[in-house]
Amino acid sequence: MDSSIKYKSIVRSIIEEYGSIKSPSSAITPQIIMDEDRGQFMLLASNWHDDSRSYGPYLHLQVNNGKVYVQYNGTDIHIAQELVAKGVAKDDIVLEFQAPYKREHTGYAIA
């Protein structure tokens, strides 16, 4: 199986899994956004607290050229470790949220 197809399937399952978790605060609404043709996978959250709205990403993963790019991780989940546990090679994971000069020290791909 082509690694991009495999990796998209893995990323999709992770986003769907975390997007289905019910928050202890029913005011939080998870939103799953997936564009498989472009390899974009996001988990967003929105909620209202009194007169204030909160909206933003929890996870943003991208599959491109046989690699998984962790664009953003606003959770306490060690998403790269979970990707490895589900079958993504460590050297195919780029922690894009880290500065390029720091990536060589992460144990994952630099680019």
Closest CA to 35 of 60, 66, 14: 60
pLDDT in tens, 37-83: 999 999 998 887 788 888 889 999 999 999 999 999 999 999 999 99
Distance CA 14, CA 77 (A): 11
Distance CA 66, CA 1 (A): 12
pLDDT of residue 24: 72
Counts for the chain of helices (H) and strands (E), in that order:
3, 5
**CB of 90 within 8 A of CB of 96?**
no
Q: CATH classification of 3-19+28-103, choosing from 3.30.310.110, 1.10.10.10, 3.10.129.10, 3.90.1010.10? A: 3.30.310.110
Q: Please check the confidence at residue 97 and state whether its pLDDT lies above 90.
A: yes
Which of the pair, 18 or 29, is modelled with greater confidence? 18
